[in-house]
Structure 1
Amino acid sequence: MIEKRRRKRHGSHIFLITLILTIALGSVVLGCSMIWSVGSPQLVAVKLESQLANLVEDVQAAESVLASAQSAKPVGKYDALLADEALCRQQNIYAKTAASPNETTIVFAGDILFDDHYAVKVKMNQRGRGIEGSISQEMLDVMRSADIFMVNNEFPYSDRGTPTENKKFTFRAKPEYASYLLDMGADIVSLANNHAYDYGKTALLDTLDTLNGIGMPYVGAGRNLEEAIQPVYFIVNDQKIAFVAATQIERTENPDTKEATQNSPGVFRCWNVDKLLEVVANAKQVSDYVIVYIHWGTEATDQLDWAQKDQAVKISNAGADLIIGDHPHVLQQFGYCEDTPVMYSLGNFLFNSKAQDTCLVKLTLDANGFKSLQFIPGRQQDCSVTMLHGTEKERVLSYMRKISPDVTIDGDGFVTKKG
């Protein structure tokens, strides 16, 4: 459609220029014939010089119109919105330039951890190569080349705070480690998980400041409820894509990970799903595509629990176009709720010392919306992540096919709905 508008405008400019030159040349011819009828050679010369000067001016004007036409950019439906920088800041709207004008790629990864007291960061420090020493170049190429890359940030960034009493695992990373997100190619992180509040309110607030300091958009937590529930929007290729994040975990009335309120910081909790459904529905009204990244499920099993199944349908009905899950720390199935793809758990990505299968999930959108969804098999082992090939890749694809009865997964990992 953009190309059609460009061609139409270009044709109208050519017509205008041709009309100008035709009129100008006709004026010269007519003027010359009138002058010759007078019969004075001197007068003919003066008048002809004047007419030629006017013709030169007309040609220059036509060239200016053509130059303007060639440099003019097509008008996008969100150009006026993007021009209002204050409104974009207020509404968490970011402009992105895609690698291709014809499609937008969005890549998702699961849980990461940069705590010095746990194996992944200990090994990273020993290797001395930062993120390059912990994630293979192939994986990094996919993450960095995505137009948008999203990951679950399963810890706060802070040097302050007190660990949650009686909690088995509490995580915290130094604020300077947030730069690893940039090294990975991350464009947005989810804080909607059960470890963002491990060191209390102070550490969570430090996390928000740290991410703001490096220009990293986040969803799923905030200084108050209004901020915690607010989506992040990216406008790419004249499409507005909404990202919403929330957590079911922990499933108690008084969780360790505090829920944001009107006056206090915390995460966006969705054990009671009503507020999440409202946020998704509102985002759908002002967006072309809505992605929900949700912390849910039961740890260490590929079996879905009832709350995942129940909420997936409701979230889809509210307007979600894609649902991405994490928290179980293992891969879970692909499914569909009507036309909404659901990846129930991405598993760990770079989180602990376990040898286990992992993945990236790549969404591609084109001018019509959804184009494809691809599962890219990986392996977390020895506190690093690599992409799988050959028999190992096929092993993981076969496993995903086995646990995902409602979809077809081809040899390249592309996922389609059966039937």
Structure 2
Amino acid sequence: MAAGLAVVTGMALLSAGVAVTLLDGSSGTGETAKPKSPFTVAFGGDVHFEGMLRARLDASPDTALGPVAAQLKAADLAMVNLETAVTTAGTQAPKQFAFRAPPTAFRALKSAGVDVTTMANNHGMDFGETGLNDSLAAGRQAGMPVVGIGRNAAEAYKPHTVTVKGAKVAVIGATQVLDDNLIQAWTATDAKAGMASAKDAPRLVQAVQAARKSADVVIVNLHWGQELNSCATPVQRQLAAQLADAGADAIVGSHAHVLQAGGYLKGKYVHYGLGNFAFYNSSGRTAQSGVLTLTFDPGSKGTRVSKADWAPAVIGNGLPQPLSGAAAQQARASWEALRSCADVRPTPA
């Protein structure tokens, strides 16, 4: 009786030109609402194209990230932290290390299966506002979405949104790491280009809350932590909890140059530090790398992370070389042990 009434009412609304969704899941226009299904998102850490990586990029941008590309391509969505300005111009910022890459950097990322990149980090404006504008233009030209930087704060905090297997995914980028003498110059404001700053936690929380209103999944990619410290800092923990409360489903970061813990916090997935990914000067601890792949699964309580897979790698000649067999098992066990100095758990409960 109720079903029949709903169909009759729906037909009446259609005749009046009102779009409705009927009980069978159709829109009444011959189209069926696409159901949501599980999907995967892969993450790599810090990427730049210095040293031998520049030579590799110049020689063959389509294979510049090497064998790890297969793991990125296997996911439905993949992202990395591009820790360089993409420009051939601009004036170098007053700092010891400054990175820049040609526009073919975006081609290399796309060829490796990367779908979106964050440039909110302590190298994204190494060549000033000119370099930032060039980076944005190069990203648009290559069809590579870039988050975390913009011509103003609204653009910098704006998420990249994409529909993946029926689910609307919003990706936000921000940095908590900026040189003290560059914070003001590099932070985006309503009237100035720059980066989304995680130092302004309320502004970042606001961005997450806004994205939460319309997205099925909200992902925040952060540049944070303390260099060479494999333990999550109190500042990281505090921000992770704030973002989880604001509605972020996954909070993933890098910067420390070493691996940090990953696991569940308040039912959300947090990975404090992915380490280096494509990085020219890595060895020992700073060469420990890998790909994090999260599976998002729709359910009665929304789309949550149902599985997290850490595929370890070791950087050689600047590139992450995936591990297998006993070496992978040992590396994964070492990574899991990092939870001893973090506040995340291996399971949601």
| Shorter-chain TM band | 0.7 to 0.9
Which residue of structure 1 aligns with residue 71 of structure 2? Answer: 142
Which residue of structure 2 aligns with residue 229 of structure 1? Answer: 157
Larger-gyration structure (1/2): 1
Q: Specify which structure has the bigger relative contact order, considering alpha-carbon pairs within 8 angstroms and separated by 6 or more residues.
A: 2
Contact 1:123–1:383 (Cα < 8 Å) also in 2? no
Offset of 1:317 from its aligned partner? 0.8
2:294 to 363, 380, 391: 363
In the TM superposition, 1:17-416 aligns within 5 A as 72-76=30-34, 102-115=37-50, 118-122=51-55, 128-130=59-61, 132=63, 134-136=65-67, 139-165=68-94, 167-250=95-178, 252=180, 254-255=182-183, 258-355=186-283, 356-368=287-299, 369-370=303-304, 371-405=306-340, 415-416=346-347
Contact 1:325–1:344 (Cα < 8 Å) also in 2? yes
Offset of 1:133 from its aligned partner? 5.7
Contact 2:40–2:296 (Cα < 8 Å) also in 1? yes
Offset of 1:239 from its aligned partner? 1.1
RMSD of equivalent CA atoms: 2.5
The total of aligned residue pairs comes to 317
Please list the CA deviations of residues 78-100 of structure 1 after superposition, one character each: whole Å capped at 9, or x if unmatched. Answer: xxxxxxxxxxxxxxxxxxxxxxx
Please list the CA deviations of residues 43-66 of structure 1 after superposition, one character each: whole Å capped at 9, or x if unmatched. Answer: xxxxxxxxxxxxxxxxxxxxxxxx
Counterpart of 1:206, as a letter, is D
Runs (5+) with no aligned partner, structure 2: 8-28
Contact 1:108–1:362 (Cα < 8 Å) also in 2? yes
Runs (5+) with no aligned partner, structure 1: 1-7, 13-70, 78-100, 409-414
Contact 1:197–1:257 (Cα < 8 Å) also in 2? no
- What TM-score, normalized by structure 2, do the two folds share? 0.84
Please list the CA deviations of residues 198-256 of structure 1 after superposition, one character each: whole Å capped at 9, or x if unmatched. Answer: 00000110000000011111110001111111111111222111111111112647527
- What TM-score, normalized by structure 1, do the two folds share? 0.71
Contact 2:175–2:222 (Cα < 8 Å) also in 1? yes
Offset of 1:335 from its aligned partner? 3.4
Counterpart of 1:267, as a letter, is M
Tell me how far apart the structure 2 counterparts of residues 367 and 129 of structure 1 sit (CA, whole Å): 39
Offset of 1:289 from its aligned partner? 1.1
Counterpart of 1:121, as a letter, is R
